[in-house]
A and B are shown apart, each in its own frame.
Chain A
Amino acid sequence: MPTPPLRRRIRTALATAALTLAATGLSACGSGGPQDSAGGGGAALEAWVYGDPSAAVQRKVVDRFNKTSDVKVKLVEIPGEGYQDKMRTSMGTANAPDIFFNWGGGSISDFAAKDMLVDLGPYMKKDPALKKAFIPSILDAGRIDGTYYGVPMRGMQPVILFYNKKVFREAGAEPPASWDDMLDLIDTFKEKGVTPFALAGADPWTELMWLEYLLDRFGGPGVFQKIVDGDKSAWNDPAMIKAGETIRDLVDRGAFGKNYKSVNYTADGASTLFARGKAAMHLMGSWEYANQKANQKEFAKSGLGWTSFPAVPGGKGDPKDVVGNPTNYWSVNATRVKKGERRDAAVEFLKFASQQSYAKDLVANGDVPATSDAKEQLTAHENPEYATYQYDMVSQAPSFTLSWDQALPARFTAPLTNNLQKLFNGDLSPKGFADAMRDVK
């Protein structure tokens, strides 16, 4: 056992080392900041975006913006897989971006709590047109503590109940309009030897979509909002228990087949099952269309049907409510972009995402824009019927609940997916799931 003075000495030494390191980091941050750029006529604002084919839309808007502004924007495309890690580790250092792509909610709530983001609320008050330019439910889904930190900048990604038209035709079935229909369809398809719902149980975020919709249908969006606001008892809300019981019931009925636990989404297991008619329906984000188009072209074109998640008996939620990823957002880093010309320019750049020309680029890219005047433009979409359905579904939704794994702080993500998988697999009861989530530290 070391004597106390020695221990204190070690602690002091370690603390000094840590402080020195941190101080170096902080001073580096200062020198990389706006001060030195003021002399050089203004360095470009660095905008980070998730690097995938859709970034072409952002490339175009940066070109347009740079033609009109003295302060330029420089787009940095970070390869998708590493985006989240790189963005999070860079924040607070000298290498942080000035403007950055994010998922709203929990992906930026830590930054918002530490005043690292520019509050866009006042700008929207000053310029009401900016706020009106976006579909309210989408803008609100990205709200944190009653104010806005992000401007929608990509297509919307609601979760939709997809169905295989051919399988339905052969079974003489209609898409489900009520919960009873859902239960009847499960029996119908089981008799035909078709799995009623494709579910990628090896990737638990796909199971999350079921819980999100069921909780909304049973208890409305308020229950999850309470959880987001930090009310842990909401995990034990009767609606949550009911949703959990319904999941158990679906699994026991064989709604997902026998081997769903081993099916993956990322290696295309569930989508292939669905496209080949071995499964009749698939609850999935709207990107399922693009995914099918890439892998099963014929099916995406003529075999894919879509409908909304039905109401449940005795449920308080509005069946028009939607869950999923409303869109992605641009946020401005307040620690790097100080008040003044640069911040005004950054906000001005964000406004470009509300323009018709931006929405047009999104549509051409196959996305459905989140702007409130985009509907007429959807005729130019490669699948106008699908795009219009999605747009109407979202713009008429009273509430759009952000995917829980994005909405909740990072420390919830692992327990949520682990416990949910256990709920589906029968290792946890609905009550056990609720308790386990309530106890997450």
Chain B
Amino acid sequence: MSPSPARRGPGRPGLLWAAPGALFFLCFALGPLLLVGYLSFTEWDGLGGLPSFSGTGNWRRLWEDSTMRGAVVLSLLLTALTWLVQTPIALLLGVWAAGRQKNRAVLSAVFFLPLLASSVALALLWKTLLDPNFGLIADIGPWIGFEDGDVLGSSRGAFGAVLFVAAWQFIPFHTLLYQGGARQIPRSLYDAASIDGAGTVRQFFHITLPQLRNTVITSSVLMVVGALTFFDTVLILTEGGPGTDTTIVPYWMYETGFVSRDMGYASAIATALVVVATGISLLLVRLTGFAAMRSTREGL
């Protein structure tokens, strides 16, 4: 569909209209991004003075750093597990919440609450709940395999806690996406399926799921990028510990930059993270054919 000639009149916005947005993007996104890229080739402690050029030193170090290697593995693991845990739950909850019944509306509102609180407040709350002597975990720990409530102190427990708190916090958001997506599905499809004798389960797999394809991709990209850049909960709940067992890449970047004051190396980590996260999300979009924006309603 091409716009009619009449619409190309004097009202059509020129390039100038984009200037404020472009300028903003340049100053606060592209500029800093390029600067960080430049800093990754320097040594700089962030104090006055100029960064001193150090060639590819930081990048070589990135390759040899064993903490970084561990952080990459943990980040990828967190991303994969986040997707595996959050997607099915959010999908089911979202489809369920799409129903128009009153009790569902009320419960959806309740489920939505965690998203409204700040991550820092939530992490602090969970830290208290996970106190091995006075928290909730002291009582329920033995039931889930942590004899002394020693969740945050064990390598798997701490990682699991981060995964759990992230899921608890972000599932409501993805539920909302799926709820919206499910409500867009035309009723007629379900009516037709019912007449043909398909039950609820069959309807879910043959109508709801295919119809939600684009929503799944949107939610997955957000989830993956979110997990790769996840930070605040780790900072407060585990501080990357025990040892470096929950030191994921963004946290390692923070420790290098703002605790160790090694801005050059931290910039190298940041740049690598940007490249990898962008790469993965592009790949996701490509592989799933999302870029083509194929409609799920063909023939309707």
Contact = CB atoms under 8 A, between A and B. Distances in A.
A6 interface: no
A91 B38 CA distance: 22
B133 A14 contact: no
6 contacts: A88-B46, A201-B242, A204-B241, A258-B147, A262-B130, A272-B133
A259 B243 contact: no
Contacts of A91: 47-48
A335 B49 CA distance: 12
A263 B131 contact: yes
B208 to A, nearest CB: 42
A88 B132 contact: no
Interface in A233-290: 257-264, 267, 269, 272-273, 278
A418 interface: yes
Contact of A262 (B46, B150, B244, B260): B150
A89 interface: yes
Given A262-B132, A410-B259, 7 more contacts: A17-B35, A259-B153, A260-B153, A263-B133, A267-B124, A411-B261, A414-B259
A180 to B, nearest CB: 28
A390 B124 CA distance: 33
Contacts of A427: 242-243
B134 A269 contact: yes
Interface of B: 34-35, 38, 45-51, 61, 67, 124, 127-128, 130-134, 147-154, 157, 238-244, 247, 255-256, 258-262
A418 B241 contact: yes
A264 B131 contact: yes
Interface in A167-210: 201-204
Nearest to B141: A259
Contact of B48 (A92, A262, A425): A92
Given A201-B242, A411-B262, A259 B133 contact: yes
Interface stretch (A70-78, A109-117, A381-389): A109-117
A414 B266 CA distance: 13
A422 B247 CA distance: 13
Contact of B243 (A85, A116, A421): A421
A364 B181 CA distance: 64
Contacts of A202: 152-153, 238-239, 241-242
A429 interface: no
Contacts of A259: 132-133, 148-150, 153
Contacts of B46: 88-89
B38 A14 contact: yes
4 shortest A-B CB distances, which residue pairs?
Answer: A92-B48, A261-B153, A259-B148, A262-B153
A18 interface: yes
Nearest to B67: A418
* Chain B interface helix/strand/loop/mixed: loop
Q: How extensive is the interface on chain A, given as a class? A: 35 or more
Contact of A263 (B51, B132, B157, B244): B132
Contacts of B148: 257-259
A258 B147 CA distance: 9
Interface centre among A414, A419, A421 (most CB of B within 10 A): A414
A22 interface: yes
A414 B47 contact: no
Interface string A316-356: 00000000000000000001000000000000000000000
Contacts of A110: 45, 47, 261
A18 B52 CA distance: 11
Given A421-B242, A425-B242, A116 B48 contact: yes
B47 A262 contact: no
A88 B261 contact: yes
* Chain A interface helix/strand/loop/mixed: helix
A413 interface: yes
A33 to B, nearest CB: 13
A260 B147 CA distance: 13
Nearest to B152: A262
Contacts of A263: 131-133, 153
Interface string A395-433: 000000000000000111111001101100101100000
A440 to B, nearest CB: 9
A88 B48 CA distance: 9
B260 A278 contact: no
A93 interface: yes
Contacts of A441: 61
Interface in A135-150: none
A36 to B, nearest CB: 20
Nearest to A261: B153
Nearest to A413: B259
Contacts of B151: 262
A89 B44 CA distance: 12
A19 B42 CA distance: 14
A93 B48 contact: yes
Interface string A44-68: 0000000000000000000000000
Contacts of A261: 150, 152-154, 242
Contacts of A111: 47
Interface string A80-113: 0000010011011100000000000000001100
A256 to B, nearest CB: 11
Contact of B38 (A18, A22, A88, A422): A18
A422 B243 contact: yes
Contacts of B255: 414
Contact of A92 (B47, B133, B241): B47
B236 to A, nearest CB: 9
Interface string A1-38: 00000000000001001110010000000000000000
A19 B52 CA distance: 12
Contacts of B240: 418
Contacts of A269: 131-134
A2 to B, nearest CB: 14
A259 B259 CA distance: 27
Nearest to A21: B35
Contacts of A419: 243
A264 B48 contact: no
Nearest to B150: A259
B51 A18 contact: yes
A222 B208 CA distance: 71
A272 B134 contact: yes
A111 B261 CA distance: 13
Nearest to A409: B261
A25 B224 CA distance: 38
